[in-house]
Chain A
Amino acid sequence: MSMTPILETRNLHRRFRVSQGHFKPKATLQAVNGVDLSVQRGETLGIVGESGCGKSTLAQMLLGLLPATSGEVRLDGRPIADLRRVDFARRVQPIFQDPFSSLNPRKTLLDIVTMPLRVHAIGSRAEQEARARTLMDRVGLPAGFADRYPKELSGGQRQRVAIARALVMQPDVVICDEPTSALDASVQSQILNLLMELKADFGLTYVFISHNLSVVEHIADHVAVMYLGRVVEKAPVDAIFDAPQHPYTRALLDSVLTVAPDAGVPELALGPGFPNPLRPAPGCPFHPRCPRAFEPCSTIPPTPVPAEGRGAACHLTEMTPRGAAA
């Protein structure tokens, strides 16, 4: 366990100043609020969490595209702020949540996918094209797509271009933000199989952000569950799915819509409110929706989960000693 993680975050924070309209003071929005994570080489860290809890903001910071308000991101133990931009980009590649805005509308798909190889001067022109075409094939964009432009594609086809571009250089780490959300079940399986193969063959490391819990369950080794800017639970995949500790993790698992005609949408035992990052609740941020909240939850924030450790940030689990049977 004492190996240096390939990627880690230390007490990472990101605040945004948000205008509240004319003549009103700006409000502070704490998008990422003290996140400690670590990923070992060749592992997949799944990140799930409520919508707006800071996952994409975290991804942007892991990619060095957004500065942290405080705390740091390290690659192989070195703060990424100290690394040269090109060296970093050679090793860490993104797949963004909103693929269209990240694809240059004036370039053909083949240009877009070979671009990273050209920027880093990897291989000859012919080798670059061959590699790009192989990957496009693997993501289900066969030869006929090479000369097309992003606007000529469906949502899922664009997402696959972004995936091919991220994988073409064979980076060490890929930060995937909702990489398969626009894909049908068969193409999604094809992409997940490709990611798993690259991991087995070349030891790729993934940070895999997704709302699709079945996909995360299938592909992740460890899972972090986030809520309003914090990690509320972290554990190996089996533990998260077989024995979830945090009430929010349980609520997530209970809300998964498996194929069951006539079953309807489950009625959740959650409070009716929606989380509000502009006015987070005091104490545990989840307590207004938590079915098991009791008196310390509304005043005392639970102890965070340490970077290397596992467990839930929850007063309920703090009462039962760690390791004791629940």
Chain B
Amino acid sequence: MGALLTVDDLRVDIATPRGTLRAVRGLTFSVNAGETLCIVGESGCGKSMTSLALMDLLPRVAKRSAATLNFADTDLSDRRKARRIRGNQMAMIFQEPMTALNPAFPIGDQLTEAYLHHKGGSRAAARARAVEMLDLVGIGSPAERLGQYPHQLSGGLRQRVMIAMALMTDPKLLIADEPTTALDVTIQAQILRLLRDLQQKLGIAVIFITHDLGLVSRIADRVMVMYAGAMVEEGTAAQIFGAPRHPYTQALIECIPQPGRTARGTPLGTIPGVVPSLVGQIEGCVFRSRCPLARRECESHVPTRGAEGHRWVCVDDAPAPALEGTTR
């Protein structure tokens, strides 16, 4: 069975006064129908640029290139074909709802716009669908909410409006960029279960971008870890959390405050050093400037190790030292 989405050597270059900022540096991955791929990585590593590139919604200054960009046997580099898929079979939940929603229009208009464009039908039918979707994501009195403007909604309500909007057209692939950061954990759990049910019922594939590693461990079929625009490790949730192989993945997992393990009020573990500048090439391993295990070989080309299921980019192939509670 072929993958629903196939991405080979995806790159995003941004022209800046300081030179070309290479926000995404040759990503290769695929997503199957019904599958959840979680993307994690440091802030600024290119997660949002990756999703915007898939949707062909990059800012004007950014340029996309890829060897392959395929969605359900359609070549997404054909912009005309891609336009029919975007916002229809492929929908996105944006990271900052306040910037993605138009402040000048009531949310009802924004919910129905793409639906009317792709599915046609009457305005009344589109509004009925919008009410149904708002109800599904747990917004009470949905009909009343349709007339409200984005600034009249709380952060979490806006986020759920975005989720409802993405579900309007029954997409096959949902790209969700930090969709639950403004939700309390009980509602987050309800939304995650809703997504899971939809996935099982309709076979929707989900690319889920988040910083919440606990959440990732619970919902991911596969996890891709990014650093400085590149993939550093990919595997199943069990592999990434049970036996992480890349030093960045290991360090990141160590930073989470863990109830019962990190004493309240004490300093938390961090990764010393700063991310390298993304302008221009980075020779060798992208993480080497902060890696405790860095050595000479890391400055040259670094191999991708592992088998299909679990791969990581590192000079080391030896089993990783077991994660221990070093950051007490």
Interface residues of A toward B: which range? 35 or more
Residue of A nearest to B148 (CB): A18
Interface segment, A80-88, A189-197, A304-312?
Answer: A189-197
- B213 near A185 (CB under 8 angstroms)? yes
Q: Please determine whether A182 and B218 come into contact, CB atoms closer than 8 angstroms.
A: no
Query: Considering only CB atoms, which chain A residue lies closest to B182 in the complex?
Result: A51
Nearest chain A residue, comparing its CB with the CB of B138: A274
Q: Are B186 and A218 in contact (CB under 8 A)?
A: no
Q: Is there an interface contact between A260 and B217, defined as CB atoms closer than 8 Å?
A: yes
- Taking a contact as CB atoms under 8 Å apart, the answer to whether A261 and B215 are in contact is no
Asked if B265 CB lies within 8 Å of chain A CBs, one says: yes
Which of A147, A155, A265, A279 is B141 in contact with, Cβ under 8 Å? A279
State whether the Cβ of B74 lies closer than 8 Å to any Cβ in chain A: no
Residue in contact with B140 in the complex, picked from A21, A252, A266, A278, CB distance below 8 Å: A278
Given A258-B259, A270-B186, check contact A51 B147 (CB 8 Å).
Answer: no
A39 to chain B, nearest CB (A): 16
Contact of B241 among A50, A97, A144, A259 (CB under 8 A): A259
Interface flag for A5 (CB, 8 Å): no
Closest to B137 in A: A274
A56 close to B16 (CB less than 8 A): no
Give A267's nearest chain B residue, CB to CB: B193
CB contact under 8 A between A98 and B96, given known A52-B157, A259-B213: yes
The interface size of chain B toward A, counting residues with CB under 8 Å, comes to 78
As a 0/1 sequence over residues 225 to 261 of chain B, the CB contacts with chain A under 8 angstroms (1 = contact) are: 0000000000011100110000000011101111100
Bound CA span A267–B192, Å: 11
A51 and B187 within 8 A (CB): yes
Do B98 and A274 touch (CB < 8 A)? no
A211 touches B257 (CB 8 A): no
Cα A16 to Cα B145 in complex, Å, equals 13
- CB-CB contacts of A197-239 with B at 8 A, as 1s and 0s? 0000000000000011111011100000000000000000110
- In the complex, are the beta carbons of B184 and A182 less than 8 A apart? no
In angstroms, Cα B142 to Cα A21, docked, is 12
Instruction: With a 10 A CB-CB cut-off, give which of A182, A219, A274 has the most chain B CB atoms.
Output: A274
Binds A, one of B39-47, B167-175, B292-300: B39-47
**Cβ contact within 8 Å between B267 and A193:** yes
Complex formed: what's the CA distance from A27 to B40 in Å? 42
Is the CB of A186 closer than 8 A to any CB of chain B? Answer: yes
Instruction: Please give me the residue from chain B that is nearest to A258 by CB atom.
Output: B214
7 chain-A/chain-B pairs, Cβ below 8 angstroms:
A19-B148, A151-B59, A155-B96, A185-B213, A261-B241, A265-B193, A274-B139
Tell me the B residues contacting A by CB distance below 8 Å: 16-18, 40-44, 47-48, 59, 95-96, 98-99, 138-141, 143-144, 146-148, 152-157, 159-160, 178, 181-190, 192-193, 196, 211-215, 217-219, 236-238, 241-242, 251-253, 255-259, 262, 264-265, 267-271, 274-275, 277
